[in-house]
Amino acid sequence: MKKGIMGGTFDPIHLGHLVTAEEVRDYFHLDEVVFVPSARPPHKVGQVITNPEHRYLMVVLATITNPYFRVSRVELERVGPSYAVDTLRYFREFWGDDSEIFFITGADAFAQISSWNNPEELFRLCTFVAATRPGYKMVSMEEKYRQKVKMIEVSALAIASSEIRRRVKKGESIKYLVPEAVENYIKKNGLYVNE
């Protein structure tokens, strides 16, 4: 079986995340992609992050119409910083050694990989898919990691969660940048208005 994992803060989830996950799923013929909202992203310490339950629910709303997409609460149930390596260990155990695990990231996130907790083990546990995204250039990479990384260029979507938050705060439209259900959820709960 071929499995995909898409980790992120998803504050909020947007079409850039969804298109990336779907294109990677299609290209590598993955059986499913599991979205894993991060409870306490180690690289966003000190930043204000929306309540994980809000972020989780928005991911559920955004992925519900895709039969290949699932959402996991594994990082929400865990205490301490949300390290990808703990999540990978969990899914490696859950799916067994025969499954091939593709960890999907944007190129910008992948460029920081050496700063992640335990990169050596990460590369043993999965294959990385680094999706190039407008405005980012792929960095050079250590030779030992190269074979465990697939690069894929996804349809150019210059969307970032930070831009969505900025727009909501300014009262600008976010229509067609996030799924309609997510747009409505943000409105209903007054998210990002006072940031």
Of these, 3, 5, 16, 102, which contacts ligand ATP (CB under 6 A)?
16
- Nearer to ligand ATP by C-beta: 20 or 72? 20
Question: Would you say 100 or 108 has its CB closer to ligand ATP?
Answer: 108
Within positions 92 to 151, which residues make up the interface with ligand ATP, using CB under 6 A? Answer: 105-106, 108-109, 131, 133
CB closer to ligand ATP, 160 vs 181: 160
Q: Which is nearer to ligand ATP, 157 or 181 (CB)?
A: 157
Distances in whole angstroms, Cα of residue 9 to Cα of each of 13, 59, 90, 107, 171: 8, 10, 19, 15, 22
Q: How far is CA 96 from CA 10, 58, 85, 125, 139, in A?
A: 27, 29, 16, 11, 32
Helices and strands (DSSP H and E) totals, the chain: 9, 6
When CB distances to ligand ATP are compared, the closest residue is 106
72 forms part of the interface with ligand ATP (CB under 6 A):
no
3-state helix, strand, coil in the chain (%, to 5): 40, 20, 40
The region of 56-64, 93-101, 157-165, 169-177 touching ligand ATP under the rule CB under 6 A is 157-165
